Every structure is written in C-alpha cells, then in structure tokens.
Amino acid sequence: MSLFDRDRSSDRLPVALITGFLGSGKTTLLNRVLGDPRMARSLVLVNEFGEVGLDHLFMEQVGGDMVLLQSGCVCCTIQGDLDRTLRDIAKRRTAGTAPPFDRVLLETTGLADPAPILQLLLNNPMISHNYRLDGVITTVDAVNGARQLDEHPEAVKQAAVADRLLISKTDLAEINASAGLRARLEELNPGAGLYEIVDGDIDPALLFDSGPFDPVGKSDRVRAWLNAEAHGHRHHHVDRSRHDAHIASFCLTFEEPLDWDRFNEWLMAVRASWGDKLLRVKGVLNVVGEEQPLVIHGVHRTFHPPTLLARWPDADRRSRLVFITRDLGRTEVEASWNAMA
C-alpha cells in the first residue's frame, strides 16, 4: 500500500497562468491564442472584459460574468476573489449551467505577484480538487523589459517562476537590446522555454500542456517540465550586479533512492527556515519502496501534496529537485541536506 496518492490530473482542469509586466503583450497573446481552433474549449479568466480587449470576439452573454466567444471559448470575469470565482465555476460546470471547456487560462494584472495564485492552485483543497496547475507563461517586452527588470521586483519574479518565457515586440526593439534581454532571461531562469514572438503569434502547443502530466496519456512530461539539466549548467557572462542578481536557480540531484521520512523532514526544515525565499520548487523523486516517480511542487511554504505519476519517462531514476530562489544559494541548501545525514 503506497503512502502517496496517484496522480488524478486527468480528472482536473489544467490552469495556465499568463503573467507579465504592464504592456508586455498578454492581451495580444490571448487574442491570438483564442483564435486557434485547438483552443476552442478554453475558459479565460480576466479581471474585466474591457481590459482584455476581446469585444470583437464576443458572441453571447451566458451569465452576468460570463460570455461565450465566437471561437468557442468562454470568458469570465473574476468576481471578488479568485478562490470564490474558481469554486463557483466548478459548481456551474458540474451542474451543466456553464458552456463546456477543457482548460483555464488565467491572466494576471501586470503588477501581480504570481506567488499567491500559485499557492492557491497548489494547496487549497477546495481548488485542487477540480483544478491543477499546468504551467506559468510570462510575457516580457523586448523594448522595455530590461528597464522593468531593473526597476520592478514583480517583473523579476514573474520571469523567474515561468515555465515559458515569451519576448514580445521584438520587431520594435533594437537587435542588441533583444539579444541582451534574451541572455539576461536565460541567466535568470535557465529552465524555462524561451520564445520570441511578434503580435502574439505562437503555436499554442508550445505553451500549454507543459506540466508533468500528459492528459493524452502517451507519456509523462517529467523531463521537459523539470528541465533540470538547464539549471545545472548556468552561464556566467551576464552582468550579475543588476536587480535580478538576487534570484538563483539550481538543481539538486540524488543518485540513490530517497528515504521519504528523512527527505520530508529536511524539506519541512527548508520551508521553515527559508520559505520566504523559495519562489518555486519542483521535483521528481525516486523514493524507496515506490516504483513510480513522486512529484512535489511548491511556492514559498505552500506545497502541493506529493503525487505519484504513472511512469518514469526514461531509464534515468535519479531524483531531481529544482529550486528558484531569492537570496538563497545552492551551498546553503546542500549543506542543510548534508547536515541531515
């Protein structure tokens, strides 16, 4: 009998968090993505319809805070707080009073810290029963992105926790500026997929279904989701004196299967000591007594209950744990693990 739950992601709606600083192209991206037939059964959560500029896509009102778009997508405004909106939508979906949809796209405001939203999706039982975090997509303005990273901690955090980084407006920026921004983002978040886009034009397949679970059931996308190799080979040619020098990303690799009690005790100590500095932690573990990989995922002190995936993606059975941190380095974390021996 396993100590851990099997992954039930096929029963839960994937949520893609679309974030990025003011004017970085989130709305343009949404407009393009929603026009793709493959995205026809998407629910888009926004703060206000007017802010998103989707008016030309509206087809009919199906509720005071919900509209059906010509593309087949549903657009819903966040009433009050996100927690209440998500629970209300889940009830409506179960009752059959909302149009059918297969995924949720959640656009944040440009000044949003993504951490509270990630925490809600990862560890609120009322939410995680119906939803699962699929990935974080962050847009960065090629023209103004470097200055925004210098001046705004939110912009740095949005880029640091992303699974996919999209550099927008590359057609308007100088070549050297775009190249410098790309190098900086690669240093800030080496594990993220990085794409340059113009007018939001990108294949949705590159953005969504990017989590460790494959809803089609063909494979578990552990390697791509974790991208541990990127965090293990950092570049050092970028000027680290800037604001984002506080952000670090690194991967701890464990060759032998882990004793869960020891590992869990250590992880609880890490959360207690440095929770405020943990921007994002995600890992795939080989645990003694389990044939399947165990996935853990957390933000600050909030962690999703560990779940077993159906299979390993390949013959590599090493445990890999990726940290994205602020003012916390590999040396301190590794030392805390070694002290547990």
Q: Would you say residue 16 lies in a domain?
A: yes
Could you read off the pLDDT of 271-325 as tens digits, one per residue? 999 999 999 999 999 999 999 999 999 999 999 889 898 888 888 999 999 999 9
Task: Give how far Cα 84 sits from Cα of 81, 87, 91, 105, 305, Å.
Answer: 6, 5, 11, 16, 22
User: What is the reported pLDDT for 48?
Assistant: 60
Could you tell me if 10 and 139 lie in one domain? yes
Whether residues 103 and 159 fall in one domain: yes
CATH number of the domain encompassing residue 137: 3.40.50.300
Asked whether the predicted pLDDT for residue 22 surpasses 60, the reply is yes
Q: What pLDDT is stored for residue 241 in this prediction?
A: 40
183 in the same domain as 262: no
Q: Is 77 in the same domain as 191?
A: yes
Is 164 part of any domain? yes
User: Does 27 share its domain with 146?
Assistant: yes
Confidence of residue 175 (pLDDT cuts 50, 70, 90): confident
Query: Are residues 136 and 197 part of one domain?
Result: yes
Could you say which of 186, 206, 226 is where a domain stops?
Answer: 206
Q: What percent of the chain has pLDDT over 90?
A: 45
Mark whether 146 and 276 lie in a shared domain. Answer: no
Q: Per residue in 35-84, pLDDT tens?
A: 888 998 898 887 765 555 554 455 455 566 677 776 777 777 776 688 88
Question: In this structure, are 16 and 91 located in the same domain?
Answer: yes
- Our CA angle for 91, 19, 120, nearest 5°, is 40
Contacts of 86 (CB under 8 A, 6+ apart): 120, 127, 130, 131
Q: 163 in a domain, yes or no? A: yes
Which range marks the domain in which residue 154 is found?
5-206
Mean pLDDT for all residues in the chain: 85
Q: Tell me, what's the pLDDT at 134?
A: 92
Instruction: Taking residues 124-152, report their average pLDDT.
Output: 92
User: Can you give the CATH number for the domain in which 283 is found?
Assistant: 3.30.1220.10
What are the C-alpha distances in Å from 220 to residues 2, 212, 216? 20, 6, 10
Identify whether residues 47 and 93 lie together within a single domain: yes
Domain end among 206, 225, 257? 206
Q: Are residues 306 and 187 in the same domain?
A: no
314 domain-assigned = yes
pLDDT in tens, 87-123: 988 998 889 888 888 899 998 888 888 999 999 988 8
Rounded Cα distance, 144 and 202, in Å: 21
Q: Which of 206, 222, 248 is where one domain is finished?
A: 206
At 222-258, the pLDDT tens digits run 788 888 777 765 444 444 444 567 888 999 999 999 9
Q: How many domains, in total, are found in the chain? A: 2
| Residue, of 216 and 4, whose pLDDT is higher | 4
Look at residue 256 and tell me if it is in a domain.
Answer: yes
Asked whether residue 42 falls in the same domain as residue 91, the answer is yes
